[in-house]
Amino acid sequence: QVQLVESGGGLVQPGGSLRLSCAASGFTLDDYVIGWFRQAPGKEREGVSCSLASLGSAYYADSVKGRFTISRDITGNTAYLQMNSLKPEDTAVYYCATARFRVGTNYLLPRAYTTWGQGTQVTVSS
């Protein structure tokens, strides 16, 4: 069964850090593009970061550049999103997703992805 399970969310003070995990089962994560998205109440789901292993590239939304880092652990079949210098506006449910690589696709858009996790809540508040 193909499945993604996120973990690592929680409550953190502004300026703090969290590391989100995305554990894959039923397929080899390294064969796919990995994306992280977030959705705040009343807002559309937005792309945060994506990792294109076939190109050795990673991309970030402007709002998180320099603060968030995407990575993947091949042996553990797990992807990560390290989030530093967190701000209240980072509060959202965070999702990981996977997709096959196709040239010309914008992987910071939700419609590019076929498999999604259930999400993990991140709350940044003092």
The gap from C-alpha 76 to its chain's centroid, in whole angstroms, comes to 16
Q: Report the pLDDT value the prediction gives residue 77, as an integer from 0 to 100.
A: 92
Q: Report the pLDDT value the prediction gives residue 18, as an integer from 0 to 100.
A: 98
List, in sequence order, every residue forming a beta bridge with 93; answer none if it has no partner: 39, 121
Query: What digits encode the pLDDT tens for the residues 83-97?
Result: 999 999 999 999 999
Q: Report the pLDDT value the prediction gives residue 43, as an integer from 0 to 100.
A: 97
Distances (CA, A) of 105 to 5, 24, 36, 43, 53: 24, 22, 16, 23, 14
Please tell me the distance from the alpha carbon of residue 90 to that of residue 54, in angstroms, as a whole number.
29
Percent of the chain predicted with pLDDT > 90: 89
